[in-house]
Copies of this chain bind each other. A is one copy, B any other.
Amino acid sequence: MTVTKQIKEIAKGIYDSILKKKQPNLESPLRALSNVKYDDKLGYFELIGKKKSRTLTVGTVKTFAQTLRMMTLSKDLVDKDDIATKREAYYVSKNWGEARFTTQPESDTVMDDVEAMLMVNREQMGFIPEEKGGDVAGKLIVVDKDSDTGKQIKIDCTKMGSGAYSIPSSVEELKFETNAKFILAIETAGMFQRLVKHNYWKKADCILISMGGVPTRACRRFIRRLSDAKKLPVYVFTDSDPYGFGSIYRTLKVGSGNAAHINKYFCVPSAKFIGITPQDIVDYKLPTHPLKDVDIKKIKDLLKNDPFIQHHKEWQNALKQMAQMKVRAEQQALAKWGLNFVISDYLPKKLKNEKSWLP
């Protein structure tokens, strides 16, 4: 069912309630960690079904009106093929009279409620993130369309020179053509630039994606849609530190706790971590930095509270190993063995040796 159709049905339900002189009611899933579970087969944090209900009363009248207004805005966006950021949606409300929002967090919460109510992601509702997605280079043609003419546009990511294709804020409509063998998702822009400069994607027959730290929604959704559509394995290459493991990789692979109603769109359950692992620091004698207090705290947190880490013995061992070694290492540390050691040795060896990966 399309978003527009869903919105129309909910609106009709409310309209009918009013005609029947019954109190109108809106229902959406409870968005909290207490309402999620981790299922290895699904591969992401999933809602377990607790709901919250908002009945129209004197106390809820403003939020109720705002929710309906937000649904109207979403319907308009989808009907007109337009977009709005969360911030723009907040400002649009300034013309809603008494239903206008006073601060953006209020408007964000209502948007999240509607998103959860419709069980879609807000990009499908016409709302786009403030921030951009990642960068792409390599064996991929992105099929997009001209928004004026509707004519197909093919963007060849092998023909970007030293630059790259920048992923748009919303990727729902994109299609893909590729005969690459895998996707390599890279933490830092510097490492991405090295692999692009040396056309690594030609040698390895792959698609390179620069995440630039924790991947944005658009970047995660792009990788997910691309890997689903073309049945491509996704390999992730980050610094060897708790942030690379627990924030970048974990978020890409299974999603996050406070956005569980949309994880199924934004996670990449098939992703594998190819490095840099704590064992790589030993095996490649990499230059290191001492763990900071915040790193040690993050390791403890992950071991104690993260359902994904708790599910994987291998990750627990890796984190414990790092805690014992008391050091972390950056992707660029491989440059100790020569600037292009990563291309000539590290990546080819890693990709061949599945045993050296983490799940």
Contact = CB atoms under 8 A, between A and B. Distances in A.
Nearest to A87: B332
B146 A199 contact: yes
Contacts of A196: 168
Contacts of A161: 142, 144-146, 153, 155, 168, 174
Contacts of A169: 189-190, 193
Interface in A315-347: 330, 332-340
B135 A132 contact: yes
A330 B334 CA distance: 42
Interface in A81-132: 82-85, 87-88, 91-92, 94-95, 128-132
29 contacts: A82-B339, A83-B193, A84-B335, A85-B193, A87-B190, A87-B332, A88-B190, A88-B339, A91-B287, A91-B335, A92-B336, A92-B339, A95-B336, A130-B188, A131-B212, A144-B160, A144-B163, A145-B161, A147-B197, A153-B160, A155-B163, A160-B166, A162-B168, A162-B170, A162-B173, A163-B166, A165-B166, A166-B166, A168-B196
B202 A148 contact: yes
A297 interface: no
A219 to B, nearest CB: 12
Interface in A186-220: 188-190, 192-194, 196-199, 202, 210, 212
A295 B174 CA distance: 41
